Each structure stands twice: as structure tokens, then as C-alpha cells.
Amino acid sequence: MLGNIYIILKRETKGYFSTPLAYIFISIFCGLTAAFTFYLGAFLERGQADLFPFFESHPWLLVLLVPSISMRLWAEERKTGSIELLMTLPITTFEAVIGKYLAAWVMIAIALALTFPMWITVNILGNPDNGVVMSSYLGSWLLAGQFLAIGSALSAMTKNQVIAFVISTAACFLFVMSGVEAVTGAIEGLVPNYVISIFSSMSSLDHFYEFVKGVIDLRSLLFYFTSIIFWLLLNIIIINIKKAA
Amino acid sequence: MENRIILDSLYKSFGELQAVNNVSMTVEVGEILGFIGPNGSGKSTTMKMATGYLKADSGTSTVCGVNMEINPKEAKKLIGYLPEGAPAYGEMTTIGFLNFIADIRGYYGKKRAIQIDKAVERARIKHVLHQQIDTLSKGYKRRVGLSQAIMHEPKILILDEPTDGLDPNQKHHVRELITEISKTTAIIVSTHILEEVDAVCSSVLLINKGNVVLNGSSSELRSKVESNNSIMIKIDPKHSEDLKRLLLTISSISKIDVLNETESNVNINVYPKENRVILTEVAKIIADQKFPVKDIYQNHIALDEAFRKLTV
């Protein structure tokens, strides 16, 4: 089982790096995070030796950039017909879903790792808490992992990549916004309080900020992992339902 | 281990459309079944169910004794499949793609190199090994798909229109390859090129709108058409009545049609019973009575015509 997952992962990763896709994604991600940090986050003007302005932009960038990776995961296989080849090879749907998912997640990890000049810069300028930086990176990667799982599942529903992109972005956006006070405030009074607290506890943003504060909370870890597992299970179910449809 | 694939009463509907309606077939090692039918008749859907890509509404696909639904991973190991249009990962090179297939098929070390070499050799794709699949011509793409399907020397090979879009030389080569492999393999090959059925297949299964129309040999397919082996005689109209009267004395004739009557010519079409060859009897009458016939020939029906008559 691990063997097949690794074979799929290897093939997918080669696919990313044999086309411009990986290079463009990584360049855009690094470029935009830097731009957000210096211009919108006023990194230098703040006079504080931390990477908060850098990580603050991540949820909003990932909402757009992760679906641009995940949209092709299954929609493209359907479009080109290669899914028929893949699913008639002696592998399980589980192995295919996990292998493809991990390959994309690894690529995002590489993109995050390549923002290391930010980390070097802040260490030259001052003495940041590097533990906080590490937990922030972890939070960002988990957040991306959640968006990727959502996008992968939704991509399995269609062979149109544009549709996959739009609905994935909307779904990820919803998970981010459910923690924003303007949104929870708007439904306050309309629904019982416990609904609001469930709603806002589903917020990817709140859990992400725990990591950015340097807190690796078990509840936040659980939140991301259960969310990823849930969406990947859904992904497997969608593919198997389409097989019977 | 059983060396055959058995499809048993497969059904599949897409919404209102009954795409496949009770299709069964058994193909043994050494046999090549030509699976024919018009576009949209359910050939590809049947093959997708046979290979485990689609789940049948009911019915089973049993590959060398392994049930596809109960044990898909084992069953898929025994099958080589070329899907319609030979899909592949276009961004990969041919050799990269074949390496991936070899990995999935569980080959490593020396054996891996041998299996890949053999598949490359058989499909004749040696000089496109380092080319990106997206940049290959249709013919080469098809051959890359074929090499993928035969790499593990499967007992069961299922090919969905393997020669579609190939030039005559490539078609010839693919047919040769299929014939060569068939000694050790049970092959199901779908096509709508009927000359292929005569050229390579040992039996034929014709389906139309999801239903099996015929399951047998290509001569049985021909015999389904009444004009097979009929005899056309061109003669002056003043002799036609006499000739017709005498011909009707032959016991193996079913009926006689008179066509295209003009001032000087009439065509008499003589239909035999059960596709019998009646040329000798007809010729004898003409010779004995010295009928001044202008032309005479036997209609040996083309498969195309049989196909059309059975499926329109």
C-alpha cells in the first residue's frame, strides 16, 4: 500500500516539476508573500523582530493559490481520460487519492520552505523568537493542507478545472471567514449561541492564529487533521460514486 | 488457474439510457474476439465494466477466476487495458511513463528493464522514448498505450479501438502484434473497421443499442443477410420470363427479384435458401437452354453491409 502511494507521489511530483506549474506556483507564492509583508504588512516600519506581517497574509493567499493547484488533481485526469488508465491499474482509490494529495502538499511545503530569505532577514535585523516562526510555518502548511483536501475532493466532482477552482476557492473562503467577527456578528441573534460557537470553532483562521502566536494546541492540530481526513474520505467516496454512476 | 475472461449478463444504464443490456461473453487464451457495433452502441461501456473502471448495475466480470468486483486489485493485475483514445500522462516522456507503469506493475531490478525493453520492442517505440507524450503523433501515442497494456504480459488483453486513426502500415503492424500475442493471451478488441474482424478475429460479437445482435463467427455474421451468395443475372427482357420459370425449379432457391427493367436489359436477382451456393445449378440452366446472358455474378456480401443491415 505504501509502495503504491509512493509510486503515485513520485509520478505526480515529477509531473509538477517537468512542467512550468511548480516553478510558477513557487515564484508567485514567494513573490506575493514578500510583497504583502513589506507593503501591506509594513514589516520594516513596525520595528518589531517577528514575521507576523508575513504570516498574516498567508490565509488570503492560500485561499486563491491552493485551489489553483488542487483544481487539476482530478478534473484534469477526467478531462484527458487518464483517470481510466489510473483506475484500471492494480491500485486502490485510496492509494491514488493519498498519493496525489501528498504530492501537491509536498510541493506547497517546498514553496513555504523557499520563503526562507524572510526568516534570514528577520534574524539579521533582530532577535525573533524562532520557535514562533517554526510553529507559524507549521500552521501555514496545515492550513494549506486543509485547503488542498477541500480542493481535491471538489475537483473529483467535475472535469472542468475552472469550476473546480471557483467552488474550491469559495469553500476555502467560507472556512476562513467563519472566524471573522463581522461574519459571526451578522448572524448573532439569528441563531442560538452554540451554533455560532460551533461555526466559529470551525474557522481555519482562528486555529491558524494559534500557531502564529506560537501555540501548538492539540485542539488545533486535531482540527486540521480531522478536516483533512474528512475531505479526503469525501474525495474517495466521490470517485467511487462516479464509478457507479 | 482459468485462462479466460467471462463477462456474465452485464447491465448498465445512464439515467434513462440503457447503455448495456445483458451482454455476456467468454474469451479463452488463444482467442481474439472482435467486439463490433456502431458508435454509442455500448462497446466502450462494456469494456469499462470488464476492466473495473465502471461498476455494472448488475452482472459480473471474472478474470481468470477472479471476480472484478470482489477482488479488483488482483483482477486488475491480470488484465492489460488500452482505453479508448489511449490516454496517458502527456507531460511525461515515453520512458518516464513506462517506468511508472513498471513500478505499479511491481517490477524492479533486472526484470523491470527486461519487461520495459520487451514492451518497447513489441510496440516499436524505441526512437520516441525520450520524447514527451503530448508531442507524439496519434499513431505513436496509440503504440505507447499499447506497450503499457502488454508490458506485464497479461493473460487477458482488452483493446478499445487500437487501430483507430492509424495509417495502413501502422494498422498492419498492430494487427500483426495482436495475432502474435494471441497465442498466450485472451484478447477482446473493439473496432468499427470490419476488415479487421476478418483479418485477426477468431469470433465476433456484434452489439447495437446495448443489445447483443450476434455472437459467432464472421461467416455467421454474413449469413444473417439474405442477399449473401445471391446471384445477379443480366439478360434481355424477352428471355426473362422463360429464365425465371426455369430457375424456380431449383429447390434451393428462396425467391427471385427482377430489377432495373429497361428496353434492352433486366437484372434478375436469385436468392438462395440459407445462404447456399447455387451458382452451379443456375449456370447449368443457362448453359442447357443457351440463354443469352450479358452478365452473371455471385454477391459475396461485405461485412460492412451485414453490419449495416443488422444495426440500422
Question: Is A84 in Cβ contact with B55 (below 8 Å)?
Answer: no
Q: What is the CATH number of the domain that holds B301?
A: 3.30.70.60
- CB-CB neighbours of A200 under 10 Å: 16
For residue B268, list its beta bridge partners. Answer: B233, B258
Shortest CA gap B156–chain A (Å) = 13
Question: Using the 8-state DSSP alphabet, how is residue A51 labeled?
Answer: -
Which amino acid, one-letter code, is at B213? V
CA nearest to A244 within chain B: B55
Which amino acid, one-letter code, is at B219? S
Do B40 and B156 reside in the same domain of the chain? yes
Most confident of A15-24, A215-224, B44-53, B157-166: B44-53
Question: Is B51 in Cβ contact with A91 (below 8 Å)?
Answer: no
Chain A residues in contact with B87 (beta carbon < 8 A)? 80-82, 84-85
The residue that leads in pLDDT, B306 or A37, is A37
Chain A residues in contact with B83 (beta carbon < 8 A)? 81, 84-85, 88
Chain B residues in contact with A244 (beta carbon < 8 A)? 54-55
Residues of A within an 8 Å Cβ radius of B: 4, 7, 10-11, 14-15, 18-19, 80-82, 84-85, 87-92, 243-245
- CB-CB neighbours of B167 under 10 Å: 12
C-alpha to C-alpha distances, B151 to A201, A219, B68, B107, B292, nearest whole angstrom:
52, 49, 21, 10, 63
The three-state DSSP-derived secondary structure of chain B is: CCCEEEEEEEEEEECCEEEEEEEEEEEECCCEEEEECCCCCCHHHHHHHHCCCCCCCEEEEEECCEECCCCHHHHHHCEEEECCCCCCCCCCEHHHHHHHHHHHCCCCHHHHHHHHHHHHHHHCCHHHCCCEHHHCCHHHHHHHHHHHHHCCCCCEEEEECCCCCCCHHHHHHHHHHHHHHHHHCEEEEEECCHHHHHHHCCEEEEEECCEEEEEECHHHHHHCCCCCCCEEEEECHHHHHHHHHHHCCCCCEEEEEEECCCCCCEEEEEEEHHHCCCHHHHHHHHHHHCCCCCEEEECCCCHHHHHHHHHC
H or E stretch covering A199: helix A193-201
For residue B93, list its beta bridge partners. Answer: B132
Chain A residues in contact with B92 (beta carbon < 8 A)? 11, 14-15, 18
Task: Report yes or no: B223 and B307 within 8 Å, Cβ to Cβ.
Answer: no
pLDDT of residue A195: 77
Write out the three cell numbers for A177: 471567514
- Taken in order B99, B103, B107, B108, is the CA torsion positive or negative? positive
Do B47 and B195 reside in the same domain of the chain? yes
pLDDT of residue B72: 94
User: How far is Cα B199 from Cα B195, in angstroms, rounded to an integer?
Assistant: 6
Do B242 and B215 reside in the same domain of the chain? no
Question: Is B84 in Cβ contact with A89 (below 8 Å)?
Answer: no
Edge-to-edge strand ranges of the sheet holding B79-82: B79-82, B156-160, B186-191, B32-36, B203-208, B211-216
Do B189 and B274 reside in the same domain of the chain? no
Tally C-beta pairs within 8 A across A and B. 64
Question: Considering CB atoms only, which of B74, B81, B85 is closest to A88?
Answer: B81
- Sort residue A66 into left (φ over 0), alpha (ψ -120 to 50) or beta: alpha
Question: Is B85 in Cβ contact with A81 (below 8 Å)?
Answer: yes
Shortest CA gap B39–chain A (Å) = 18
Chain position carrying cell 503523433? B137
pLDDT of residue B1: 59
Task: Report yes or no: B158 and B103 within 8 Å, Cβ to Cβ.
Answer: no
Question: Is A80 in Cβ contact with B87 (below 8 Å)?
Answer: yes
Share of chain A above pLDDT 70, in %: 99
pLDDT of residue A58: 92
Chain B residues in contact with A90 (beta carbon < 8 A)? 73-74, 76-77, 104-105
Shortest CA gap A6–chain B (Å) = 10
Chain A residues in contact with B14 (beta carbon < 8 A)? 245
Last-in-domain residue among B222, B253, B286: B222
Provide φ and ψ at B262, rounded to 5°. Answer: -130, -175
Question: Using the 8-state DSSP alphabet, how is residue A40 labeled?
Answer: I
Task: Report yes or no: A98 and A232 within 8 Å, Cβ to Cβ.
Answer: yes
- Spell out, as residue ranges, where chain B has pLDDT lower than 50: none
Q: What is the CATH number of the domain that holds B11?
A: 3.40.50.300
Shortest CA gap B109–chain A (Å) = 15
Q: Is the pTM of this model over 0.95?
A: no
pLDDT of residue B266: 87
Do B246 and B281 reside in the same domain of the chain? yes
pLDDT score of A229 more than 90: yes
The model's confidence at residue A199, banded by pLDDT at 50, 70 and 90, is confident
Question: Using the 8-state DSSP alphabet, how is residue A37 labeled?
Answer: I
pLDDT of residue B193: 79
Shortest CA gap B222–chain A (Å) = 35
Last-in-domain residue among B200, B222, B244: B222
Interval A42-82: pLDDT, tens: 777 777 778 888 898 899 999 999 999 999 999 999 999 99
Do B119 and B181 reside in the same domain of the chain? yes
Question: Considering CB atoms only, which of B79, B103, B148 is closest to A7?
Answer: B103
Do B156 and B103 reside in the same domain of the chain? yes
C-alpha to C-alpha distances, B141 to A129, B44, B147, B180, B187, nearest whole angstrom:
55, 19, 10, 21, 20
Question: Is A85 in Cβ contact with B92 (below 8 Å)?
Answer: no
Do B239 and B213 reside in the same domain of the chain? no
DSSP A136-197: HHHHHHHHHHHHHHHHHHHHTT-S-HHHHHHHHHHHHHHHHHTTSHHHHHHHBTTB-HHHHH
pLDDT of residue B254: 82
CA nearest to B84 within chain A: A81
Do B252 and B160 reside in the same domain of the chain? no
Question: Is B104 in Cβ contact with A7 (below 8 Å)?
Answer: yes
Do B218 and B126 reside in the same domain of the chain? yes
Count structural domains, chain B: 2
Question: Considering CB atoms only, which of A10, A81, A91 is closest to B83?
Answer: A81
Do B140 and B269 reside in the same domain of the chain? no
Q: Which domain holds residue B254?
A: 231-311
Residues of B within an 8 Å Cβ radius of A: 14, 48, 51-55, 72-74, 76-77, 79, 81, 83-85, 87-92, 96, 100-101, 103-105, 148
CA nearest neighbour of B98 among A9, A11, A79: A11
CA nearest to B93 within chain A: A18
Do B212 and B276 reside in the same domain of the chain? no
Last-in-domain residue among B222, B249, B271: B222
Task: Report yes or no: A187 and A106 within 8 Å, Cβ to Cβ.
Answer: no
Chain B residues in contact with A82 (beta carbon < 8 A)? 87-89
The model's confidence at residue A140, banded by pLDDT at 50, 70 and 90, is very high
